[in-house]
Structure 1
Amino acid sequence: MASTTTTVLALAAQQRRSNPWVRYLARRALYFLVSLFLLVTLAFLLVQLIPGDPARASAGEMAPPEVVEARRAELGLDQPLIVQYLRFWVGLFTGDLGDSFTSRTPVIDVILTRAPATLELALLSVTIVLVIAIPVGLAFGALTRGQRRPGTEAGFTTVSAILAVIPEFLAGIVLVYLFAVNVQWLPVAGRSDVSSYVLPVVALAIGPTAALTRIVRAETLTVLEQDYVRTARAKRMTPARLYGRHVLPNLLTSTLTISGLLLGGMIAGTVLVENIFAWPGLGSTIVRSIQGKDYPLVQAIIIFYGAAVLLINLVVDILLILLDPRTALDKS
C-alpha cells in the first residue's frame, strides 16, 4: 500500500513537472508572492521617510513632552525598527493592521469603508475604456488599412496622441471648469447620485481610451495583413463575419494585456482624481494620512494599491493562457 501511494505521488509530481500550464501558473504564483513580500517591505520602510514625528502629530502639536512619549510607547514607536517590522508582518497575517494614529479607529475598517469608492471609480473607468477603445480602434483600423484614407489616419493619429498624454489631474480640472463651474450641468465634487460619477470617470478614462484605441488600431492593421484574413476575403466572407470571427478574437490577447496594465494605472490614478473631486475613496485618504503622519493607514493603503495591481496582472496572465494556451508553452 505504501509503495502504491509513493508511486502515485511520484507520477503526480512528474505530471506537474511535465505540464507547462502547471509550471507557468506555479511560476506566476511565486512571482506574485515575492513581489508582495517586496511591496510590504518597501511600504513599511517608505513611511519611515515621512518627515515629522508621528507621535507628536497623534498627541497634538501642543501636547507636553511626557504625553508625546507616552503616546509613542502606546503606538510602539519606541521599539527598534526590526521589532516594528516583524510586528507589522504579524498584524498582516492576523488581519490586525493596527489603529489609525489620528482617528484611533482600526485601519482595516477605514480600508473596507473607503475601498469600494475607489474600486467603483477604477472599474467603471476601465469598462468605459474597453467599450469605446475596442470598436473605435477596430473601425479605424478597417478604414485605414492598406494606407487608405490618409486624411482620416492623420486626424486619428493626431487627436489620439494628444488625448493619450493628457494627465488625469489636468483632465479633471478642465472638466470641472467646463461642466461644473461654467455650465453647471454636473456636480463639482462628492459621491452621491449617478451624475457625480461622470466627471471623475471621464477624467480617468480619457487618456487610457486614446492609448488603447491606438493599440487596437495598430493590432487590427497587423491582423488584416495575415494570410488567413486574405483567404477569408477571397472566400467573399461578409465584413461582419470576417471581423467577428477572424480579426476581433486575435486582438483579444494584446488588448487584454494592455487592459490589465491600464486598470493598474487607473487604480493608481485615482489618487489624483479623488483629490480633485473630493471623492471619498482611498486616494483622498492617503493624502490626508501622509500629511498627518498616520503610519499604519499610509502603509495599509500603499499595500492595498500595490496588491491590487499585482493581483490584476496575475489574473490577466491566467486569462491569457485560457484564451491562448500557447502562452503557457512559450513561457514554460
Structure 2
Amino acid sequence: MSASIVHQESQPVAAPPTTGLRERPWLRFSLRRLGGLVLSFVLLVGVTFVIVPLIPGDPAIAAAGQEASGAQIEYIREELGLDQPLYGQFLDYVGGLFTLDLGTSFTSGEDVASVILARLPFTAELAVLAISLVLIISVPVGMLVAYLTHGGRRPWLDHLFNFVTSLVYSVPQYVMATLLVVVFAVGLGLFPAAGAENLSSLVLPTLALMLLPTCVVSRVVRRETAVVLDQDYIRTARGWRIGQVRLFGRYVLPNVITTTLTLSGLILAAQLGGAIVIETVFAWPGLGQGIVDAILSRDYPVIRGTILILGLMATVIIILVDVILAIIDPRTMEAEA
C-alpha cells in the first residue's frame, strides 16, 4: 500500500495549460506595437508643443504685419490665444487633440486639419513613388551584382558598384536636387523645374528623393545576397541542378527580403522628413513646403499639426513593416519573447 502511494507521488504532475501572453504571440506583438504607438504620440505632442515657440519671431507681429500698432498686435495676440500662460495653451492644445481638432491657422484662419489634408496627397504620392522605385531598382541590382561578383569574379564590377553608390550616397539630397534642376530642367529643358502641373513634374523630385536610398538598399541587398550564396543549402540546391531564376526566387530572395523590408520601412519613414527639403527645392505643394511656409510665418498650429501627422505616419509605417515581417517570418515575433 505504501509502495503504491510512493509510486503515485513520484509521478509527474501535469502543468495546467497556460493562457498567458507568451502563448499568444500575436496578442503580445499587437500590445507591444500599440504601446509603442501611444508612447510615440505622447512624445510627439510634448515635443512639438515645446519646440515650436522656440522659433525666432513673434507670431502676433507676423499675423498683424510689420506696420501694425502695439494695440493691434496685442489684440491679435489675444485673438490667437498667445496671451495665456504656456500651461494653459498646452491644455487647450491637448484638449483639442482629444476631439481631433488640430487648431486654426494663424495666417489663413483655416482649420489645420483641412490645410494638412489638402497637402498630404502630394507628399504621399512623392514618398510612395520614390520608395516603390527604390525597391524595384535596388533589390534586382543588388542581387545581380552579388551573383556576378560571387567568388571573387569580376572585381572591376564590385569596385565600380561600390564607387558609384558611395559617390551618390555622399551627395546631400538638396545638392542632388539642385544638380538635377540645373542639368535636366535648365540645361536640357526635359522636365519642369518646379510645380505640380502634370506627371512630368514628378520626375525630378522623385529622382532626388530616391537616389540616395537606392544606393543604401542596393548595397545592403548585395551584401546579404553574398552571405546567402555562401550557405550550405545554396550549394546543395545548385547540386540538384536548380535553375538560377528558381534558385534566387525560392531560396535567396526570401532570406534577403527580411532585411530589405526592415531597411525600406525605416527609409520610407525618413523620406517623409527628407521630402521637406525636396519639396522646397521643387516648390512641390506637399507637407514639406507647407511646413516651411508655416515656419516663415510663425504659424504655430500648422507647424505642430504637420510635425505631429508626419511623426505618426512614420511610426505607423514602421509598425506596418513589422506586421508584414511577422506574417512572412513568425520567428520575428518569437524573438521578442
Normalised by the shorter chain, which TM-score bucket? over 0.9
User: Cα offset for 1:25?
Assistant: 2.1
Distance 1:12 1:318, change over 3 A: farther
In 2, are the aligned partners of 1:39 and 1:303 still within 8 Å (CA)?
A: yes
Aligned residue type for 1:217: R
Aligned residue type for 2:143: L
> 2:287 aligned with 1:282, yes or no?
yes
Aligned equivalents of 1:93 and 1:153: distance in 2? Answer: 54
Map of 1:193 onto structure 2: 198
Distance 1:13 1:286, change over 3 A: farther
Once the two structures are superposed, the pairs formed by residues 1-332 of structure 1 within 5 Å of their partners are 14-332=19-337
Aligned equivalents of 1:145 and 1:228: distance in 2? Answer: 16
Distance 1:238 1:17, change over 3 A: closer
Deviant stretches of 4+, over 4 Å = none
Aligned equivalents of 2:18 and 2:103: distance in 1? Answer: 41
SS at the partner of 1:331?
Answer: coil
Aligned residue type for 2:271: M
Query: What are the superposed Cα offsets for residues 17-50 of structure 1, whole Å, 9 maximum, x if unpaired?
Result: 5212221221121012111110111001010101
Aligned equivalents of 1:152 and 1:56: distance in 2? Answer: 59
Percent of aligned pairs with the same amino acid: 45
SS at the partner of 1:280?
Answer: coil
User: Cα offset for 1:206?
Assistant: 0.6
Aligned equivalents of 2:19 and 2:38: distance in 1? Answer: 24
Aligned equivalents of 1:138 and 1:290: distance in 2? Answer: 43
Deviates more, 1:293-302 or 1:84-93: 84-93
User: Cα offset for 1:95?
Assistant: 1.8
- TM-score, with length taken from structure 2: 0.93
Deviates more, 1:116-125 or 1:50-59: 50-59
Q: Which runs of 5 or more residues in structure 1 are unaligned?
A: 1-10
User: Cα offset for 1:236?
Assistant: 1.0
Aligned residue type for 2:224: E
SS at the partner of 2:335?
Answer: helix
In 2, are the aligned partners of 1:53 and 1:293 still within 8 Å (CA)?
A: yes
